[in-house]
Amino acid sequence: MGFVQIVSHWLAWVFLLSEWAIRLVMLAVVPFRRTPAAAKGWLLLIFFEPWIGLLLYVLIGRATMPRPRIEQMARVPQALAKVRERLLKHPNIFHPELSPGLEWTGYLAEKLGRMPTFAGNAAEIMVDYDAIFARLVTDIDRAKNHVHLLYFLFIADAATAPVIAALGRAVERGVVCRVLVDSLGSRSGLHILIPKLTALGVEVREMLPVGRFRSKRKRLDLRNHRKIAIIDGRIAFTGSQNLVAADFVGGVTYEELVLRLTGPVVLQLQYIFATDWFLETNGALESGNIFPDPEITGLIPIQALASGPDFPIQNNQRFIVALIYAARKQVKITTPYFIPDEPMLQALQTAALRGVDVHLIVSETGDQVLVSWAQRSYYKELLEAGIKVHLYQTSFLHAKLLTIDDHIGLVGTSNMDIRSFVLNAEHILVIHDPGMTGRLKTEQSRYISNCRSLDLQQWRQRPFRLKLAEHLARLASPLL
Query: Is 405 one of the catalytic residues?
Result: yes
Query: Is 332 one of the catalytic residues?
Result: no
- Residue 190 inside a domain? The answer is yes
Domain boundary residue among 18, 35, 61? 61
- Catalytic one of 232, 276, 310, 341: 232
- Catalytic one of 332, 390, 400, 407: 400
- Residue 421 inside a domain? The answer is yes
> Could you tell me if 214 and 334 lie in one domain?
no
Hey, which residues does 438 pair with through a beta bridge? none
**CA–CA separation, 469 vs 162, rounded Å?**
43
CATH code of the domain containing 126: 3.30.870.10
- H helix intervals, 282-330: 315-326
Domain boundary residue among 274, 301, 328? 301
- Residue 254 inside a domain? The answer is yes
Domain extent at residue 328: 315-479
DSSP 64: S
> Could you tell me if 51 and 121 lie in one domain?
no
Picking from 348, 344, 343, the residue whose alpha carbon sits closest to that of residue 327 is 348
Residue 114 falls in which region: left (phi positive, over 0), alpha (psi -120 to 50) or beta: left
Q: Are 220 and 213 in contact (CB under 8 A)?
A: no
Domain boundary residue among 301, 327, 357? 301
- The DSSP result for 330-374, as a single string, is EEEEE-S-EE--HHHHHHHHHHHHTT-EEEEEEESS-SSHHHHHH
- Residue 462 inside a domain? The answer is yes
Q: Are 147 and 140 in contact (CB under 8 A)?
A: yes
Residue 27: per-residue pLDDT? 78
> Could you tell me if 385 and 404 lie in one domain?
yes
- Catalytic one of 182, 276, 341, 405: 405
pLDDT digits (tens), the chain, 480 positions: 566 677 676 777 777 788 888 888 877 777 765 666 677 777 877 877 888 877 777 766 665 667 788 888 889 888 888 888 888 888 888 888 887 888 899 999 999 999 999 999 999 999 999 999 999 999 999 999 999 999 999 999 999 999 999 999 999 999 999 999 999 889 889 999 999 999 999 999 999 887 655 545 556 778 899 999 999 999 999 999 999 999 999 889 999 999 999 999 999 999 999 999 999 999 999 888 999 999 999 999 999 999 998 888 899 999 999 999 999 999 999 999 999 999 999 999 999 999 999 999 999 988 988 899 999 999 999 999 999 999 999 999 999 999 999 999 999 999 999 889 988 999 999 999 999 999 999 999 999 999 999 999 999 999 999 888 888 888 776 555
**CA–CA separation, 110 vs 90, rounded Å?**
18
- Residue 310 inside a domain? The answer is no
> Could you tell me if 473 and 338 lie in one domain?
yes
> Could you tell me if 141 and 283 lie in one domain?
yes
> Could you tell me if 89 and 227 lie in one domain?
yes
Query: Is 225 one of the catalytic residues?
Result: yes
- Catalytic one of 139, 146, 148, 225: 225
> Could you tell me if 331 and 289 lie in one domain?
no
> Could you tell me if 26 and 117 lie in one domain?
no
- Catalytic one of 146, 398, 407, 432: 398
- Indicate the number of domains in the chain: 3
Query: Is 196 one of the catalytic residues?
Result: no
- Residue 308 inside a domain? The answer is no
> Could you tell me if 295 and 363 lie in one domain?
no
Q: Which amino acid is at 269?
A: L
- Residue 202 inside a domain? The answer is yes
Phi, psi of 178, rounded to the nearest 5 degrees: -120, 135
> Could you tell me if 260 and 229 lie in one domain?
yes
Global pTM reads 0.90
> Could you tell me if 395 and 273 lie in one domain?
no
> Could you tell me if 126 and 205 lie in one domain?
yes
- Catalytic one of 139, 146, 182, 227: 227
Phi, psi of 20, rounded to the nearest 5 degrees: -70, -35
- Residue 111 inside a domain? The answer is yes
